[in-house]
Amino acid sequence: MPGKLSRTLSQTKAVLLLWAALEVTQRLASMGGARSNSASRFYGRSK
């Protein structure tokens, strides 16, 4: 049981870290505004 619990805790930590990273990325993107939009448009064309 303890092993399963620790695994669940580590998975929760990973999800929280991922969510935090997404949050920061979105915050930066909204701050960057038009610059990040043009960059994403450019990458979309190159695919």
What DSSP state is assigned to residue 33? T
**In contact, 8 and 1? CB cutoff 8 Å:** no
Structurally, the chain folds into a number of domains equal to: 1
Assess if residue 31 is contained within a domain: yes
* Per-residue pLDDT of the chain in tens (47 residues, 90 and over written 9): 678 999 999 999 999 999 999 999 998 888 876 565 666 666 667 66
Assess if residue 33 is contained within a domain: yes
Whole-Å CA distances, 37 to 10, 22, 41:
34, 16, 6
- Residue 26: the pLDDT is 92
- CA 36, 29, 13 angle in degrees (round to 5)? 135
- The residue segments making up the domain with residue 41 are 22-47
